[in-house]
Structure formats: structure tokens, C-alpha cells
Structure 1
């Protein structure tokens, strides 16, 4: 497995190189100019603008600009945000913990709901409970996240007053205290619930269908013929094989942990990476936009690798070499 991992990591290098070229090219082709946020907006003197372009290297050949950008990127210098006037790395690291907390909380909610409903529906298929769970899943698949977010804010924040409708923490609470972390979870729970509940549908259906399919296989019939208790058959034989596809999804969820849900964070005005990405597109903040896009691409490749490794770990029939 170590050789396989090293080979996959080395294979990511040319892929990341090609992705970086695409990201840089798209940024250059976008309307406007990333220089617009780095000069004095009150000074429209053409000579001053041309001097700044020369100073910042915007008149250099395109390949020199690319290699300068990618070299600085891998050294941790993502450039300076044209909107916030600070290094892009600082604004990304400031938002990153919020998105990690949102992603982790939503994943916990997703897996708890998916396992509870999937196991019940799989063990009791074609019952009223199974049909109700199936209906809820189809509703979750069909309901857009922005609609669910608006309704959640209306009922749970405005009508019931259970959760705040925006922000990530109460600014009046001192950082590092127990009340601070309670406030953090209080603010993150509602967007995490929306994000996690909508993601539950596909997980639940996968688990339910796999349990039904595995319960009809020969090894289960053999276990029943030997007099094995039904609970042991489901827990050790059926469920163990049925969770394999669910576990492998964890690798792809790594991207969700960091990128977050752009729509959900925007609706709840939650200061995370997703909202930062959307704002960087709207405000033509190219340094932040390019850094986030390349970072998401890298995490997608890592997620694929983790998914493959997990598949080999949870399924003893598969060996990655």
C-alpha cells in the first residue's frame, strides 16, 4: 500500500501542474484586471498606472508571470488580496477553521442520520417506515440547499428563535472560554443541519439498497441455516459488507470539509471558505480566487486517493498494490 500511495502522490504532480496552468489562464481571461485593486483608485494618470504595471510585473511575458506565481504559491505566498488589502494566505487561514467546523459537524449529522435511517429501511424494507424514509430522501434530493436554508432561517431563527441566522460566534463573548465554544456550536448547528440533512439522502439509499442486496446472498443463507442469531447476521455479515461504499465516500468528503457549501455559507452569512470563494468571484479578487481554486483541486485529488485507500482497508478482497 505504501508503494501505491507514493506512486499516486507522484502522479499528482503533473496533474497539479496542468490544473495550475488552467487556473492561471482562466484568471487572465476573466474580465477586468487584478491590478485594479493594487493601485490608488483616485489616481487615473496613465503614466502612474503604467509604472505600477511594470513594477508589479504585469507587463512581463505570460510564461514569466505564471512561473513567478506558481513558485510563490508553493512557497506559501498566495499574493495580496485586492479586496482586503492583506495577504491572501491570512484571509484564507482566518476563514478556514469556520469551514472545517461546519464541514465536520455536517458530516457527523449526515452519518448519524444515514446510518439510523439506512439500517432501519434495509432491515424492514417495503414497510410504512421504509416508504416514509424513502419519501424524505427524495425530498432531500429534490430540495435545493438555498430553499432549505431560507426555510430553516425563517422557522428556527425568526419564528422559534432557537438558533442565530448569521455569523459564526457571538462577538461579545471572550475567545477561548467555554461560553465561546458553546456559541460557536450554537451558530454552526443550523447551517450544518441543512447541509448534513440534504446530504443524507444518497447515503441512506446506498446503505438501504446494499443491506437488502446482501441479505439475499448465499453467505447470509448459510449463516441462517447454521442457526446464527439474526442480530449477529445483520451486524457482522450484512452491515459490515454494506458500509463499504459509505466508508469510501469519506475520502470525497475531504473536499467538503474545507471548501464547505458555498450556497449554505452565503445564505447563513457564515464566514467560511465557501463564502470567501463566492465573494472573490464577485469582487474579482483574483489572488484569493486562484489560491482557493488550486487548493480545492489539490484536495479533490487527495480525496480520491483517500477513497481508494479506504476501499482497500475496509474490503479485504481488494488489495491496492
Structure 2
């Protein structure tokens, strides 16, 4: 119960941050030249001033910046994200259509990076200064230093063009109407390369953090005591070392949630995934302010939710957080 109370307190404390992010993004977008109406008029090949004035009145762009911000926050209080000028439908509808690919990509990439980062970090720490440690550390450095878009393009060339094992992009086979398990397998097949591409950089970070944390915990007194009691090395690692060594990795999940969302912009563009990242890019190009602010709002909620879950997990792993000791 105390764990839940602590997590709820931190969740409430994040709400002012959410408002500051939205207000800052709104004001920052005002510095860019042009607005939604300018983008619409350009798509229509121009138009008269009366039409432009009517459109600005319709989208609430005929008042000052402060009034626009206030009106937006008031609408947001009722969960009204506004109307997308480019897509011709409510922003909430547009985001809900694009949200599943991004959530699936983030969940798959995070699971891939966390699991293999954990395993490789443990192996490197158990074989420190030996060839497995050198090999894993070198691979981690390569993964971290290489841009994700290059990994994506090379993965497409190798696995899609040359070997023809996996699809090059998209969120499903548009030529087929799969249902049930077949549809799930089809989506999973299309997510293999994007997950691999987005997860490699984070895998490199996690394995380095896990390796360093394992080496630190292995040198502590309680580990020597466990060994002195005659426990096997496997039991010492799994029952005593691993739980304490995982704390920095769990913390890093919350810190890197926003970074992973930012990385999905590149990955979704490379693999033509219809997710929030690609939608954000399209909204910036089209100057669709309402859609872009809605994406920022939903992305901030995702990051806050992930950190909320991380706080609960962290308190379960380390009870001293709840007790305050």
C-alpha cells in the first residue's frame, strides 16, 4: 500500500511538468514561420484573403498567442485535443489510429534491449577481462556508436532484399486480409526489423550498465558472506546479486522512455510504420499545430505512465525507498 501511495504521489507531482511541456512546446511552435492555415492554403494552390481569415477564425488563430494557449489548455482540461486541419478529423481519432504501432514497437524494443542487455551484462561481468567480456563490450560500443537509421537500412538490404526473409516495412501485408493468429503473426513479422533497429542502441546501454552494476555488487560484503556460507555461484548471482544489480537498469527504463519515443521517429520513417513518430514528422512538415501538440501530450502521458510503473517496480526491488531508510 505504501508503494502505491509513493507512486501516486510522484504521479501527481508530474502533472505540473506536463503543463510546462505543453506550454513550452506551444510557445516554441509560434516561433516557426507560417501556421496551419498557411499550409492549407499552399496545398490548395493559394486562395483569397477572406478564405484565409475564415479558416483562422475556425481554428482559433485569429486571437493572440496568450489567448490561443489559454483556449488550448481549457480544451485540454476536457480532453478535447482539437481538430486536425491536415487529416480532416479530430486529433484524438488520428492519434488513436497511430498509437498501436508505436506502443508495440516501444514494448518490443524495450523488452529486447532489457533482456539481452541483462544477459550479456551478466556474462561480461562473470568473465571480466576475458575474451567474452572483450567481445561483448566491443559489440556494445559498435551498437551504441552506429546510427539507428544505418542499422535499419542495412537490415532491409540484408534480410528483405538479399535474403528475403522479412518484409521491408509497413505494419502488415496490405494485400492480405488476415484475422486472428495469422494477423498477429503478420504484424510480429513486420515488427522484427524495426524492433531490432530501435533496440540495439538501448541494448548497448543496458549491457554496459548491467556489467558495471554487477561488478560493483559482486565486491560487496553480503556477497562474500553468501559465498562463505557455501552457496553455489549460480545461487549467489540469481538470489543475491541480480536483484541489487538490476536497480540502475530499472531506473534507466524510465529515464530513456522519452529517448525511445524520439528514436521511433527515425525508425518509423525508415520502415514506413504508421506510428506516432512518423505522424509527428508529418505534422511538423504540414504545420498541423493541434496534431503536434496532441502527440506531445500523449507522448508525455506515455513517459509519465512508464515512470509510474518503474517507481512501483523500483520500490519492490528496494524496500528502503518506501521506508525512507
The question of a shared fold, defined as TM-score above 0.5 by the shorter chain, is answered with yes
The alpha-carbon deviation at position 281 of structure 1 amounts to 1.2
Match of 1:213 in 2: 216
The alpha-carbon deviation at position 207 of structure 1 amounts to 1.1
Q: Which deviates more, 286-295 or 298-307?
A: 298-307
Counterpart Cα distance in 1 of 2:59 and 2:251:
45
Aligned partner of residue 318 in structure 1, secondary structure: helix
Match of 1:32 in 2: 34
Match of 2:18 in 1: 16
Contact 1:99 1:260 in 2 (8 A): no
Q: Which deviates more, 65-74 or 123-132?
A: 65-74
Note the alpha carbon deviations across 1:44-69, whole angstroms, 9 max, x for none.
22233223333443222333322222
Contact 1:170 1:180 in 2 (8 A): no
The equivalences for 1:21-170 within 5 A come to 21-37=23-39, 41=44, 44-170=47-173
Residues 136 and 257 of structure 1: CA distance in aligned 2, closer, same or farther (over 3 Å): closer
The alpha-carbon deviation at position 158 of structure 1 amounts to 0.6
Counterpart Cα distance in 2 of 1:60 and 1:251:
38
Match of 1:247 in 2: 250
Counterpart Cα distance in 2 of 1:162 and 1:87:
38
Q: Which deviates more, 195-204 or 135-144?
A: 195-204
Counterpart Cα distance in 1 of 2:263 and 2:92:
18
The alpha-carbon deviation at position 38 of structure 1 amounts to 5.5
Residues 75 and 28 of structure 1: CA distance in aligned 2, closer, same or farther (over 3 Å): same
- Does 1:278 pair with 2:299? no
Residues 155 and 282 of structure 1: CA distance in aligned 2, closer, same or farther (over 3 Å): same
The alpha-carbon deviation at position 188 of structure 1 amounts to 0.6
The alpha-carbon deviation at position 7 of structure 1 amounts to 3.2
Task: Tell me the number of residue pairs that the alignment of Structure 1 and Structure 2 aligns.
Answer: 321
Contact 1:23 1:294 in 2 (8 A): no
2:200 pairs, out of 197, 201, 209, with 197
Note the alpha carbon deviations across 1:90-140, whole angstroms, 9 max, x for none.
111111111111111112211221122111111111111111001000001
TM-score, normalization by structure 1: 0.91
Counterpart Cα distance in 2 of 1:102 and 1:192:
6
Q: Which deviates more, 4-13 or 169-178?
A: 4-13
Counterpart Cα distance in 2 of 1:204 and 1:310:
20
Contact 1:260 1:272 in 2 (8 A): no
1:263 pairs, out of 260, 263, 266, with 266
Q: Which runs of 5+ in 2 are unaligned?
A: none
The alpha-carbon deviation at position 284 of structure 1 amounts to 1.4
Q: Which runs of 5+ in 1 are unaligned?
A: none
Contact 1:259 1:296 in 2 (8 A): no
Note the alpha carbon deviations across 1:136-179, whole angstroms, 9 max, x for none.
00001101101111111111111111111111100132253322
Residues 18 and 197 of structure 1: CA distance in aligned 2, closer, same or farther (over 3 Å): closer
Residues 186 and 256 of structure 1: CA distance in aligned 2, closer, same or farther (over 3 Å): farther
Match of 2:7 in 1: 5
Aligned partner of residue 83 in structure 2, secondary structure: coil
Counterpart Cα distance in 2 of 1:296 and 1:32:
25
Q: CA RMSD in A?
A: 2.3
Counterpart Cα distance in 1 of 2:111 and 2:323:
28
Counterpart Cα distance in 2 of 1:45 and 1:320:
67
